[in-house]
């Protein structure tokens, strides 16, 4: 299926829902654009990035107190021992 998209005066393009569904993306997700040659690009869903900077803080829950190092060590020790 071929889709034609209109470019706005700001140089933006809006993808229709059927295109987003085909890519498997939702609002807030990212897409990757790869340049294949003059006048050709490939658009696909961007894979999850795996940088440590993005991982840090992902388990923190808003309003929850921060754990001390000794509390973290205790939780880790219990986890390795198979305890909850």
Q: What are the structural domains, with CATH classification, of the chain?
A: 1-49 (2.10.260.10)
The dihedral through the CA atoms of 54, 58, 64, 66 has a sign that is negative
**Looking at the DSSP assignment, which residues form a beta bridge with residue 32?**
44
68 pLDDT more than 70: yes
Q: Residue 35 belongs to what H/E stretch? A: strand 31-37
Residue 34: the pLDDT is 92
Nearest-angstrom CA–CA distance, 47 and 30: 8
Q: Which residue has the higher pLDDT, 41 or 52?
A: 41
Q: What percent of the chain has pLDDT over 70?
A: 87
35 pLDDT more than 90: yes
Q: Which residue has the higher pLDDT, 25 or 80?
A: 25
66 pLDDT more than 90: no
Residue 50: the pLDDT is 64
């Amino acid at each position: 299926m071929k889709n034609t998209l209109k470019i706005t005066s700001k140089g933006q393009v809006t993808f229709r829902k059927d295109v987003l569904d085909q890519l498997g993306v939702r609002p807030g997700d990212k897409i990757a654009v790869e340049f294949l040659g003059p006048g050709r690009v490939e658009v696909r869903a961007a894979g999850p990035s795996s940088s440590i900077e993005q991982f840090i803080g992902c388990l923190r829950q808003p309003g929850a107190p921060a754990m001390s190092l000794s509390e973290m060590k205790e939780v880790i020790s219990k986890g390795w021992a198979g305890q909850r």
